[in-house]
Every structure is written in C-alpha cells, then in structure tokens.
Chains A and B, each alone.
With several copies, the nearest count.
Chain A
Amino acid sequence: MIVVVNGAQREIADDATIADLVADLGRDPRLPGVAVAVHGEIVPRGEWQVTPLDAGQRVEVIGAAQGG
C-alpha cells in the first residue's frame, strides 16, 4: 500500500507497523533519535510495534539535524 512519508509517497507492506517503516528508513526503532507523527498526532515509541499504518496516511518521521 502507499503512505505519504515526509511529504513523499512510499510503498510499504500492507501490514507494516510504524516500527517497520522506521526500520525501512534505516533507523533502529528501538533506539532514540527519531519521532513519528501520524496526521499531526505524535505516536510514542512504545506504541510503534503495535501500531499498523493505513493506506494514504500522512506520516512524519523526524530526527535531529544540524541547526540553530
């Protein structure tokens, strides 16, 4: 199925969880460093393993970057 990750469409498995998506983006979902919001609502890291994604959802995956 297709979700919108950080503004761009992305194909993921139909049963993918947030943890799967984060791993797919190259980050270890058990480690800190990344936060996830789905439709503007933050999903705590503890729920990533059990939170499935739905087709069409807008997902923001945010991390620390140089700045400020």
Chain B
Amino acid sequence: MDDPFVIAGAEFRSRLVLGTGGAASLQALERALEASGAELATVAMRRIDPSATGSILDVLERVGCRPLPNTAGCYTARDAVLTARLAREALETDWVKLEVIGDDRTLFPDAAELLDAAEQLVDDGFTVLPYTNDDPVLARRLESTGCAAVMPLGSPIGSGSGIRNPYNLRIIVEQAGVPVILDAGIGTASDATLAMELGCEAVLLASAVTRAQDPEMMGRAMRHAVEAGRLARRAGRIPRRLYAEASSGSDGLAEPAPAASEADR
C-alpha cells in the first residue's frame, strides 16, 4: 500500500476517521460512510434499546469500517475507564477513543482527568487514542503515558469552526512522536485539507458530514479533501511571499513597432 496510515501497527488506506453521531438515519450514515471511504469509525457505548431496528455495527461491517469505541459523555477518569472496559467486552477491541469532557458548553477535555484515564487505560493494555485540546504540553504528557496517537481539537466539537489555532497544531505536530489526528471542529472540506497540510496523519470528523445538507456528497468531499491535503504536504508547497513572482517569463515578449506604439499611446 502506498503511503498507508499506520496506527499502533494497523494499516489503513484512508486517512479519514468518521464519527457516526448526528446522522438522520442508519441508511443516510451508511451512504455517507461509503462515499467517504473511511475504514475506521467511532461508536458510542450506550444502554441497548431492545426496540431499535438495525445496528451500527452491521452498517460498519457492510462498508468495511472498523469500529472504534469512544467514551463520549464521560466527565471523569473513572467513568471513562469503565466505559472503555465495557467497550472492550462488547466489541472485542482494545482500541478506544478516549474522551473525558470538562464542560458541556465547550465539550473541551478536562486535562487532569484525561491524563489520569489515559494512564489507567494504557496500563490496562488499551490502545488509547485521546481526544485532547490543542495544548502542546498536554499532548506530550499523553504521548509519555503511552498513548498510540494524540487527537487535538481544531475547535469545539460540532462547532464547524475549523482550526482556530493552526500554530498550536503545528507545534504539536513538530513535537509529536506518535501520529497526530485532528479531532473535532472540522466544518468543511478545506478545514480537513488544511489539517493534513499542517502535518496531521489523519482527520476525525462527524457532524461536518452527518449534519451536512447532503451527507453523502459531503462524505465524498471529505475523502478528496484529506487526500488533497496529504498529497500537498508530501509534495512540498511553494513558500509564501508578500509580493508577486511571475510565472510567465518576460523574455521574448513581442515588441510592437515603435512608430505605432508612440502614436497610439
């Protein structure tokens, strides 16, 4: 596979990770997932509903997506650890997207609880992919505990505001020894492209696709967006300049006959 996305030894062709929340129906979700080309998708752990028809796991299996359980909704290390263990039992995976929320308006993580949970889960053998804020120090602490990636937010979950502080993201990427996955805040394709150009290894998004007016088309957009950003990063962009730099040389410009020129001007 050319330029695979590798995380904890597993290889993926796609660098897009999809969250499955926010879709109008499982059918709409399935079409969006398929269009997006994602091979990894998060699921929440919730009390089962005996009356529900259809299963998110069946959808993921049909579209060839590995389920990545998360700890969405947990506000303490304790709850997050319990949720991760339930997920391991239920889904027979030791991968977990770790979320420990600190505030229900911003849904930003609680740094201290997050670190605590990460340590416990790493010790317990989990492959931990923590959702974190864009703090370079916290990102390094999480890496030190043995997390398999760090997943900084670009802006609040579901805010669609893209990457509010690309400088922090750039610093995190420069300092990281594990893959950096942009998680949260993506609103549209160019946000995802930019994340990849800044050096992220992958992008995780949900609402941008599931809540778009046409989720399937937006899924397709995101597949191209992530690919575009990855290729651009690898291709080596031109530098930014304040002034212009001609792309057409001026050698060999046609010269109007002087007489005519003087007369006309």
Contact = CB atoms under 8 A, between A and B. Distances in A.
Interface of A: 6-7, 25-27, 32-42, 44-45, 58, 60-68
Interface in B218-265: 247-249, 252, 254-257, 259-261
Interface in B47-72: 47-48, 50, 55-57, 67, 69-70, 72
Contact of B260 (A25, A39, A44): A39
| Interface bracket on B | 35 or more
A68 B248 contact: yes
B36 to A, nearest CB: 15
Contacts of A26: 50
B99 A42 contact: no
Chief secondary structure at chain B's binding surface: mixed
Interface stretch (B2-10, B86-94, B140-148, B193-201): B86-94
A67 B46 contact: yes
B260 A64 contact: no
Contacts of B256: 37, 40
Contacts, number: 122
Interface of B: 19-23, 26, 29, 42-48, 50, 55-57, 67, 69-70, 72, 82, 85-92, 97, 99, 206, 247-249, 252, 254-257, 259-261
B67 A64 contact: yes
A63 B248 contact: no
B252 A6 contact: yes
Given A34-B90, A64-B69, A66-B23, A6 B47 contact: yes
Contacts of A45: 89
A39 B255 CA distance: 9
23 contacts: A35-B87, A35-B89, A36-B89, A41-B260, A42-B85, A42-B86, A58-B257, A62-B46, A62-B90, A63-B48, A64-B67, A64-B90, A64-B91, A65-B44, A65-B45, A65-B46, A66-B20, A66-B22, A66-B43, A67-B19, A67-B70, A68-B19, A68-B247
